[in-house]
Each structure stands twice: as structure tokens, then as C-alpha cells.
């Protein structure tokens, strides 16, 4: 075995070698097809991982022959130039339970294998890997470890052991770097390692970090392409292939562009090639603009050419009919088999404004200037309007991706890329559906603490037909809970998204809600007052300040400076109507000078313009908009709305994350025994009896009271629901018809910290009824928080709980009293244990 950390070693014989199980073929019922996966390697390319089958013998032997003598020595503790026939048969013959092996394919070649063998009668197993020399350094060893450990846990295995030559120190380091803490012993130059495979906090963090690096790298390969082939390039100005080639040329790609046309020797004056295989140089990215029925063959050629990524602008796939969905699935499977990621099909394309890249692989000639906003949208048609609107506003973008049918690359992939991209400071998403909402929530919870994420969620009443196959079914209240739990700033329209992005990309965050209005129009100042009251902001004392329509630039600058210097002001709205026959340029320059050094955000209604107009831009040497540029809004209301959302985000971002509540006194075994017995008798689950409910709730210190609650206190409703697409949600609201009628119920996604529980309770509009509204006695909020905390602990311990409702719970000044409970259990759907990394299946 190699000393590369992708390869690991075992002894020459397996503990189960003398009792090989009967051969199992891929088509037999025992083959675990659900364990097949496409995975992004550490270099950003994709590979296919699946359980081994006897038919892999030839491919395994070929890989073994390609490995170096050093690699074989470290794996088998000897030269072993060939695998003996008996050993080869044993290697490819497993029972997928006590003996499991995964193989990794790139195209038609088997490039890595990992296996475990359970020790007879024990719950531990020996693990070993072999990675072809040319594929080492791609993270395949750690990836195989993830998949083997996940399969082993399901099959009741708790520990892995490995035998590693002492000279193979990098391999020992691999297990440690994976988050495990192996026990080590040494004997005659061999290190024996043993470690539990149950996920730990460290191992989960390592898994997510690997996932982030790999998925970010896979998008970087697409977005920083230095050589691009346009397959379907055309001299016909009415064809998509002509538009793409023209835009690539005019935007100035920092590298060669290769038109591909079956007969024309030149396209747009650039030498063309009959196929991508005829291009004599490497190709980073291929843009496909050919009819749908030609795409599969073109993708195969791109794979043979070792193209690194594809943008498929062609339509006629999943958005059309069932046959199109089949073609789309074939497209993605072929691309991934060759290590390529796919944007599209049926998409607008991708843009990278970095001056060192200058990639416009879209059909839109309107590209925004370089900037700080990363933009993701699904609709190709909408993308054209988005780019044109952003360009007209002067909203600078770092990168833009239109995913179209989102058959492969999704919004989650872009979040992984933007999370560590220095050029992207604001993330703007136009979402029509969610493919993996749980992952979205996990990613945004972390990224949102570093970079603001703005989301326009359309399709509130259902996804488009072409996205329905992959869209998670989520009610709007669940979507809202998803956003609120992860700090995503939800806006209602794309216009509001641009307004907010312009502010966040160029101005500091408001650290409070006090707004100063300064300008030369009293009427606009009044509108600022009204807008602040509507949006929950305060007008700072002494404002608005009206310098009068005839005031000069000095008065305008002085009034702004006073607002900037005031300790009573958190944000400024500069309302400006240009005086008649007066040049407004000096006023714009004054506003720009002050904004460049201000620590408080400034928004303006300068001349009623939208975006960042020329006079208010601070530009870098390459035309990029710098911080300090002042966003302008056509109306004061839009400026105040953007400030209000920025202030809300600031509060979320700086609010303590809190800690998970723990209840050591909880009798988990009592609750577990009841649920296990119920599911043993009713495999599909059922509603629990009142006595069963009381016992389970009592095990977590939740004591019910069956007596008549009377009128004392405030009735509230607390619950848990296991959403099939999102996971467990906690709900809270006041009990009663009025609350149900107006939907005044708040949701948050688990897990919840103590501070997040407080936010859940305070979220409903009727919350003041709990704090002594109109002279009533306040309830003991700490008791409400504790009740929800216990429910959260119950849900974390018992994933079989499908729904739980406590309604009404009477909250009083002394505590809480549960008067009615309902609880339903079923086979666990939500899991707190992350599985091994895998891409979403092609569809």
C-alpha cells in the first residue's frame, strides 16, 4: 500500500478468510443498491461508489496491476504482483453484512476499493483500502471510510481495526484526521489501530469540512475555467450557440475559446473543430448548445476528452416530459461517471466577473460589473432579466449561476462555494423549490453568521412541473421556519432582493434601529417617518432634518456629518431632490465622501434613482464597486425597508447562539421501552393511549394535570412535528380559534438552543399576552422555555416520535400545566447521524 493517506493497510489474511460466503450478484435481492452514490472527490471531480459484485473481478485485477510495487507492499505487506485466483474470488464475494466492500469507479475504470471483515461473533471488524497510485491525493480513502463506517453501523458493527506498517505514518494520521481517536499498539513493525465508529462531534465536523472543500472545489472548476469549448457554436446570429460564443469573446475570457461545429472551419472568425475530441488542447469547461437528442453523445465525448465541467444550455429535458426526464438522468449519470459536474440543463449559464477569469458563458450580453454579490437562480428565462436589471442598477456581482432544471449543481453547491470565496460578501438566492432542505438549513446556519444570505422564494403554492420531481413538499410556514432558524433574510420580490443586496454589499450593517432622515425635502422626510413606524424602526431624536430646497452643498454635508457623528443615530436616509437649475454633482460627491468613512449605513433617494448611480459609486481600478458606494432608492419606503431587514439580520447575527439544554434526570429507557413495544406490535406506528403519553412525558419531567384548567393563566399550544422533507419542527402559539384562524404560530427547526427556544416563544404576534398585556399578570416564561426544552430533548432522543401536541398548556405566574396531550409514533424518519457524503441522485 502507498504511504499516501488515501490508502490504508491490513494484514495479509482476513479473519473470515476460511469461510467465504456464497457469491452474490448485483441483480440478487441482497445487493444493497441504496448504498450506491456519486461523491465529489477532494479535487472537485466526481466518482461513483457502490458495493462490490463478483463481476468486478477483472476490473479489480486490472487496478491491482496498475498499482506500484510500493503501493502493493504497503497494502499487502509484500510485493504481491498479482492477486491469487482464490483471493480475488474472496475479495469480490461478500455478504453485504459481515463482509462488505465498496468500489470506486471513474468512468469504466475501477480506481479504489475499501472493505471491512467482521470478526466472527464480535461487533468489530477489520478495515482496509487500496487506491490506485494515479488517483491518490483525491480523498478517496477517507471517503471510503465514511461509507464503510455507515454500512457497518447499520449492520451492528461498533468498532474498526486496522493493521498499518509503522513506516506508513501518513495512514495512521488519516484515521486521526477523520476525527477518530484510535488506540495504538506496536508489534514487529506493525501498528494495530482500534477505534469506535459511532460519529463524534469531531468526526462530524471533519466530514462536513471535507464536504465543503470538495463541493466548493467542484464549483471552482466550473467558475474559474481558463479554456472553454462551445459545442453547437454557430455563425447564425439567431442561434443560442452564436450568442454564447459572442458573449465569451466580448467579455474577454482569460484563455482560449474553442468553437465546435461539425462542418464550419471557423465560427465568428475563430478556428472551429468538428468535435470536442478534435481540440488539440485541454478543455476546462464545455458549454452545450445542441439539440437535446445530441446531448448524450456530446457528454460522452466530453468525458473522453477529460473536460472538467459542463454547462448545458440546451432545453428539451425534464422540463418537457417523461422522456426528457430520462434523457436528463442519463446526461447526469454519464457526466458524473467521468468526473464532471453539470450546470443545467435548460439554463442560462454562468458568469464570473473576476478580472483574472472574465467568464460569461451565458446567452445574455448584459453582465453586471465586478462586485460582492453572488447570485443563484433556477430559471433560465428569468436569469436574462436578472442580469439586465442588475447591470442597469450597477449592482456588482462576483459570480452568477442559473441552474435551470438543477439536475446536478444546486443552490446548496453554490452556498458551499461562496462560503469561502473571498470575492463574495453577500449571497442572493432566487429559489423556486428546495431539493435538500435539511442540508440547506445546516449550511445557512453556519454561513449566515459570516455572510448575509438573501432569499426570494417563489412558488409558494407549489413548484414548477419540471422541478416537482426533485422539490421537497414544504408548506410556506415550514419554509419560513427554515429561513428564520438559519438567519436567511427572506424578501417578497426580486426588486426587494436587489434593494437589500445593494445596501449589504456596500454599506456597514446598522447596529440599532434609530434612523436619521436628512435632506432638502420635508415631504420625503415625513415619508421616512411613516416607513420607519411601519417597519419597526425608530426615528432618531431631532430628525428628520430639512435643510431646505435652496440650501447649498455645504449645509447638506454638515447635516449628514452631524448624523454620522451622533451617538443617537444608527442609520441614515439621505433624501435629496435636486434643486431647479442646480447641478446635483457636488451633492453626490459630498455624499460619497462621507459614506467612504462612515461606520453607519447610508441609503439615499438621490434624484429618485434606483441602484448605485454613477455619481455615488466608488470604483476600483477594474470598475468594481467598492464599499462606501451609496445605494439609491426611488422612494423612501424602499430605503427604509432595506435598512429594517439589515437591522434584523444584524440582531440575529450577533445574538448569542446559546447552548443545547440537557436533562440528566430524564428516564430515556422508560420512554424507549414503550415506543419499542408499540412498534413491535404495530410496525407502521400508531397514536399512543393517554396512559402511554403520560408515561413518556413523565419520563422527561413533563407532568400533566387532567383537572379542569378553569380560566386562570394563558392557554398556549406547544408541539413537535416530523416534517418528511425538513426534519423535526417545534411549534409554539397561543391556544384558541383566533390564533388558528390567523395562523399566529411560530416554528423552528431542531436542534434548538436555549436562546433559540426563547426566540420561538417570542415570535408569535400574540406574545404580549404572556407578559402582562393590559394589566394582566405575566406568566413565568422560564417555565415555558423549560417545557419546550424538554420536548426538544425528547425529540432528539426518540426519532420515532412523528407528532406531539400539548394543547392547551396553561401558563401562569407559577409555572405551566399540561392539560391535554396527543402523541403519535412511527418508524424513525429523521436521523441525527449524518450519513456519508453523496450527491443527490440524478433524476
d(CA 839, CA 837) in angstroms, rounded, equals 7
Question: Averaged over 336-365, what is the pLDDT?
Answer: 95
User: Mean pLDDT lowest for which of 68-77, 261-270, 340-349, 521-530?
Assistant: 68-77
pLDDT tens digit string along 42-66?
A: 999 999 999 999 999 999 999 999 9
Three-state DSSP at 764 gives coil
- Residue 63: its pLDDT value, please? 96
Question: Averaged over 772-800, what is the pLDDT?
Answer: 93
- Residue 554: its pLDDT value, please? 94
User: Mean pLDDT lowest for which of 430-439, 548-557, 647-656?
Assistant: 430-439
- Residue 458: its pLDDT value, please? 64
589 has pLDDT over 70: yes
562 has pLDDT over 60: yes
d(CA 485, CA 319) in angstroms, rounded, equals 32
Three-state DSSP at 714 gives strand
Question: By the 8 A CB rule, do 404 and 380 touch?
Answer: yes
Question: Averaged over 418-423, what is the pLDDT?
Answer: 96
Q: Identical fold at 33-199 and 507-653?
A: no
- Residue 376: its pLDDT value, please? 95
Q: Report the percent of the chain where pLDDT is more than 70.
A: 93
- How does strand 359-362 pair with strand 349-352? antiparallel
- Architecture per CATH, domain 507-653, reads as 3-Layer(aba) Sandwich (3.40)
User: Mean pLDDT lowest for which of 129-138, 459-468, 640-649, 700-709?
Assistant: 459-468
783 has pLDDT over 90: yes
1: confidence class by pLDDT, cuts 50, 70, 90: very low
704: confidence class by pLDDT, cuts 50, 70, 90: low
Q: DSSP readout, 214-273? A: HHHHHHHHHHT-SSEEEET--S-TTSHHHHHHHHHHHHT-SS-EEEE-SS-SEETTEE-B
Q: Higher model confidence: residue 792 or residue 460?
A: 792
- Residue 17: its pLDDT value, please? 35
Burial (Cβ within 10 Å: 0-12, 13-18, ≥19) of residue 21? middle
**681-714 per-residue burial string, b: 16 or more CB within 10 A, e: under 16:** eeeebeebeeebbbbbbebbbbebeeeebeeebb
The CATH superfamily of 668-825 is: ATP-grasp fold, B domain (3.30.470.20)
- Residue 480: its pLDDT value, please? 81
Return the domain boundaries, the chain.
33-199, 218-503, 507-653, 668-825
Quickly list H helices, 507-550: 522-534
Q: Distance of alpha carbon 421 from its chain centroid, rounded?
A: 14
pLDDT tens digit string along 275-326?
A: 999 999 999 999 999 999 999 999 999 999 999 999 999 999 999 999 999 9
466 has pLDDT over 70: no
817 has pLDDT over 80: yes
CATH number of 218-503: 3.40.50.720
pLDDT tens digit string along 430-454?
A: 988 777 888 888 899 999 999 999 9
18 has pLDDT over 50: no
pLDDT tens digit string along 163-216?
A: 999 888 777 877 887 888 889 998 888 999 999 999 888 888 899 999 999 999
Question: Averaged over 493-522, what is the pLDDT?
Answer: 95
CATH number of 33-199: 3.40.630.30
* pTM listed for this prediction: 0.87
Q: Distance of alpha carbon 101 from its chain centroid, rounded?
A: 30
234 has pLDDT over 70: yes
d(CA 447, CA 300) in angstroms, rounded, equals 36
- Residue 482: its pLDDT value, please? 76
d(CA 615, CA 588) in angstroms, rounded, equals 6
- Residue 28: its pLDDT value, please? 58
d(CA 483, CA 324) in angstroms, rounded, equals 33
- Residue 200: its pLDDT value, please? 84
Amino acid at each position: 500500500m502507498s504511504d499516501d493517506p488515501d490508502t490504508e493497510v491490513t494484514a495479509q489474511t482476513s479473519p473470515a478468510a476460511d469461510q467465504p460466503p456464497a457469491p452474490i450478484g448485483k441483480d440478487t435481492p441482497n445487493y444493497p443498491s441504496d448504498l450506491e452514490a456519486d461523491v465529489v472527490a477532494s479535487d472537485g471531480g466526481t466518482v461513483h461508489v457502490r458495493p462490490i459484485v463478483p463481476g468486478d473481478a477483472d476490473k479489480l485485477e486490472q487496478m491491482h496491476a496498475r498499482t506500484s510495487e510500493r503501493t502493493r507492499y504497503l497494502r499487502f505487506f509484500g510485493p504481491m504482483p498479482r492477486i491469487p485466483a482464490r483471493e480475488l474470488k474472496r475479495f469480490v464475494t461478500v455478504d453485504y453484512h459481515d463482509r462488505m466492500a465498496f468500489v470506486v469507479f471513474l468512468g469504466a475504470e475501477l480506481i479504489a476499493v475499501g472493505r471491512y471483515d467482521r470478526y466472527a461473533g464480535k461487533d468489530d471488524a477489520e478495515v482496509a483500502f487500496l487506491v490506485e497510485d494515479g488517483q491518490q491525493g483525491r480523498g478517496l480513502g477517507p471517503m471510503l471510510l465514511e461509507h464503510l463506517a455507515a454500512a457497518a453501523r447499520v449492520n451492528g458493527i461498533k468498532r474498526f481495526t486496522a493493521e498499518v506498517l509503522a513506516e506508513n505514518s501518513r495512514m495512521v494520521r488519516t484515521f486521526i484526521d477523520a476525527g477518530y481517536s484510535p488506540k495504538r499498539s506496536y508489534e514487529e513493525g506493525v501498528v494495530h489501530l482500534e477505534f469506535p465508529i459511532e460519529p463524534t462531534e469531531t468526526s462530524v465536523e471533519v466530514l462536513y469540512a471535507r464536504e465543503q472543500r470538495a463541493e466548493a472545489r467542484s464549483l471552482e472548476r466550473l467558475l474559474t475555467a481558463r479554456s472553454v469549448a462551445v459545442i453547437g457554436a454557430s455563425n447564425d446570429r439567431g442561434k443560442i450557440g452564436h450568442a454564447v460564443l459572442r458573449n465569451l469573446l466580448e467579455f474577454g475570457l482569460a484563455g482560449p475559446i474553442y468553437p465546435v461545429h461539425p462542418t464550419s472551419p471557423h465560427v465568428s472568425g475563430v478556428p472551429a473543430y468538428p468535435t470536442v475530441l478534435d481540440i488539440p488542447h485541454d478543455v476546462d469547461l464545455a458549454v452545450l448548445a445542441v439539440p437535446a437528442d445530441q446531448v448524450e453523445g456530446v457528454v460522452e465525448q466530453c468525458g473522453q476528452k477529460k473536460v472538467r465541467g459542463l454547462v448545458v444550455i440546451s432545453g428539451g429535458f425534464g422540463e418537457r416530459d417523461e422522456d426528457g426526464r430520462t434523457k436528463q438522468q442519463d446526461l447526469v449519470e454519464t457526466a458524473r461517471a467521468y468526473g464532471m459536474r453539470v450546470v443545467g440543463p435548460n439554463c442560462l449559464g454562468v458568469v464570473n466577473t473576476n478580472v483574472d477569469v472574465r467568464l460569461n458563458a451565458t446567452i445574455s450580453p448584459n453582465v453586471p460589473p465586478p462586485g460582492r454579490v453572488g447570485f443563484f437562480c433556477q430559471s433560465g428565462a428569468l436569469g436574462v432579466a436578472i442580469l439586465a436589471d442588475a447591470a442597469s442598477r450597477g449592482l456588482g456581482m462576483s459570480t452568477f449561476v442559473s441552474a435551470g432544471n438543477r439536475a446536478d449543481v444546486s443552490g446548496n453547491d453554490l452556498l458551499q462555494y461562496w462560503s469561502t470565496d473571498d470575492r463574495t460578501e453577500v449571497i442572493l438566492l432566487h429559489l423556486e423549490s428546495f431539493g435538500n432542505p435539511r442540508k440547506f438549513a445546516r449550511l445557512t446556519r453556519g454561513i449566515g453568521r459570516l455572510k448575509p444570505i438573501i432569499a426570494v422564494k417563489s412558488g409558494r403554492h407549489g413548484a414548477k412541473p419540471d422541478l416537482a420531481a426533485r422539490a421537497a413538499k414544504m408548506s410556506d410556514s415550514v419554509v419560513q421556519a427554515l429561513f428564520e432558524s438559519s438567519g436567511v433574510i427572506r424578501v417578497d420580490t426580486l426588486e426587494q432582493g436587489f434593494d437589500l443586496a445593494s445596501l449589504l454589499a456596500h454599506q456597514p450593517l446598522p447596529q440599532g434601529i434609530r434612523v436619521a432622515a436628512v435632506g432638502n425635502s420635508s415631504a420625503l422626510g415625513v415619508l421616512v417617518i411613516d416607513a420607519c413606524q411601519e417597519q419597526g424602526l425608530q426615528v432618531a431624536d431631532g430628525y428628520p432634518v430639512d435643510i431646505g430646497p435652496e440650501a447649498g452643498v455645504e449645509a447638506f454635508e454638515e447635516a449628514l456629518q452631524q448624523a454620522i457623528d451622533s451617538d443617537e443615530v444608527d442609520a441614515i436616509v439621505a433624501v435629496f431632490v435636486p434643486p431647479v437649475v442646480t447641478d446635483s454633482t457636488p451633492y453626490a460627491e459630498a455624499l460619497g465622501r462621507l459614506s467612504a468613512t462612515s461606520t453607519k449605513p447610508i441609503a439615499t433617494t438621490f434624484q429618485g434613482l434606483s441602484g448605485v448611480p454613477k455619481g455615488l459609486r466608488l470604483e476600483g481600478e477594474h470598475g468594481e464597486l467598492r464599499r462606501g458606494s451609496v445605494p439609491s432608492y426611488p422612494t423612501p419606503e424602499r430605503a427604509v425597508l432595506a435598512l429594517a431587514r439589515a437591522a434584523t439580520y444584524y440582531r440575529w447575527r450577533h445574538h448569542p447562539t446559546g447552548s443545547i439544554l440537557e436533562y440528566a434526570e430524564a428516564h430515556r429507557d422508560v420512554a424507549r421501552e414503550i415506543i419499542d413495544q408499540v412498534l413491535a406490535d404495530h410496525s407502521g406506528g400508531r397514536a399512543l393511549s393517554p396512559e402511554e403519553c403520560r408515561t413518556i412525558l413523565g419520563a422527561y419531567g413533563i407532568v400533566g394535570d387532567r383537572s379542569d384548567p378553569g380560566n386562570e393563566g394563558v392557554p398556549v399550544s406547544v408541539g413537535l412535528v416530523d416534517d418528511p422533507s425538513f426534519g423535526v419542527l417545534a411549534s409554539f402559539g397561543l391556544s384558541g380559534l383566533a390564533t388558528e384562524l390567523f395562523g399566529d404560530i411560530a416554528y423552528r427547526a431542531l436542534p434548538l438552543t436555549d436562546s433559540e427556544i426563547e426566540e420561538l416563544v417570542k415570535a408569535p404576534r400574540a406574545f404580549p399576552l404572556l407578559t402582562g398585556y393590559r394589566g394582566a399578570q405575566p406568566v413565568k416564561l422560564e417555565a415555558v422555555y423549560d417545557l419546550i426544552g424538554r420536548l426538544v430533548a425528547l425529540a432528539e432522543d426518540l426519532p420515532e416520535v412523528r407528532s406531539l401536541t400539548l394543547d392547551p398548556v396553561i401558563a401562569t405566574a407559577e409555572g405551566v400545566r399540561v392539560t391535554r396531550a396527543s402523541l403519535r409514533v412511527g418508524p424513525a424518519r429523521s436521523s441525527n447521524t449524518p450519513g456519508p457524503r453523496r450527491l443527490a441522485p440524478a433524476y
